[in-house]
Amino acid sequence: MTIASHRIDGLASARDLFALTKPRVMSLVIFTALCGLLAAPGSIHPVIGFTAILAISLGAGASAALNQWYESDIDAVMKRTSQRPLPAGRMDRETALHFGIGLSVFSVLLMGVAVNWFSAAFLAFSIFFYAVVYTIWLKRSTPQNIVIGGAAGAFPPAIGWAAVTGDVTLMPVLLFSIIFFWTPPHFWALALFVNSDYSKAGVPMMPVVAGRRSTRHQIFGYSLVLAAVAVAPFVLGLAGAIYGGSAIVLSGIFCALAWQVARSTTSEPKDMAAEKRLFKFSILYLFALFAALVADRMILA
């Protein structure tokens, strides 16, 4: 490393600070939070609604920055993550830590001052959960890490809902549960056909620890629970026919694809067509399900 690059590293570029917030992950956060906000009963002024989504996004960015601050050692040994600002040496860890903490505090205060303090406390808890409970505590100690990490990713729609109502009822709990049970099949399908060096980094990912067969069976098990949770809002009368019909059709396809994965025995990533199909569909599934929820509320209300 040259002296010049060393000196400039003390002043991280705006692009690297932005990259620290994992902007691609943030798009899902923004979408689900917006859906939670739009599906909630009651109304919210567009400016306050925009501020709520902004605060949730900044909170997610802060969590990502703290995650990368703590995991720079893991990121450095994995090909997929080795070019992130910290492992690539374009930023020092202290900058990432300060940026993450600063953004966390700002996002929570913004939510509290502009929206309500219940959703601000909820947002603070979600940042704590992702940065401390998942990243620092459980990710390196259990193969169920993705399940727990899924909980962190499942908070945004419930926080969006709380921004409107100021509380949490059964419906936002179900929205949380949908993302929570969606994450393992989504991520493990990917983990089966992408060699992501997790074993080299010492992270106990399910396909590495329990093997492909067990992972495939767990994917199917979680898919069944996901289908039950996804249909629940309609069955319990919390959502209308548009959502109900969409949830039944989408979940049916999801379970059929997961069943193909459960029956698969291939060990060659290039032959894992079933896993690739499930992974691709899982992304469409979540977007379509939440869009149906919003359409249901907008049209039927």
Partner 1 sequence: MSEIDPNKAPMSPEEQRAYQARQKQRAVIMAGLLMFMVVLFYLITIVKIGSSS
Instruction: Give the interface with partner 1 as residue ranges (CB under 8 A).
Output: 1-4, 6-8, 10-11, 13-14, 45, 47-48, 51, 54, 113-114
Given its phi and psi angles, is residue 237 left (phi above 0), alpha (psi -120 to 50 degrees) or beta?
left
Considering the complex, state which of residue 9 and residue 197 has its C-beta at the smaller distance from partner 1. 9
Report the nearest approach of partner 1 to the CB of residue 101 (Å).
18
- For residue 165, the minimal CB distance to partner 1 (Å) is 16
Identity of the residue, 4 or 301, whose beta carbon is nearer to partner 1 in the bound complex: 4
Q: Least distance in Å: CB of 31 to partner 1?
A: 21
Choice between 10 and 41, CB closer to partner 1: 10
Helices 145-165, 117-128: inter-axial angle, 10-degree rounding:
170
CB 158, min distance to partner 1, A: 23
Q: Which residues contact 79 (CB under 8 A, 6 or more apart)?
A: 197
136, 234, 221, 230: which is closest to 175 by C-alpha?
230
Question: Does residue 177 contact residue 52 with C-beta atoms inside 8 Å?
Answer: no
Nearer Cβ to partner 1, position 8 or 249?
8
Question: Is the Cβ of residue 105 or residue 113 nearer to partner 1 in the bound state?
Answer: 113
3-state secondary structure of 118: helix
CA–CA gap between residue 234 and residue 176 (Å, rounded): 16
Q: In angstroms, what is the minimal distance from the CB of 16 to partner 1?
A: 10
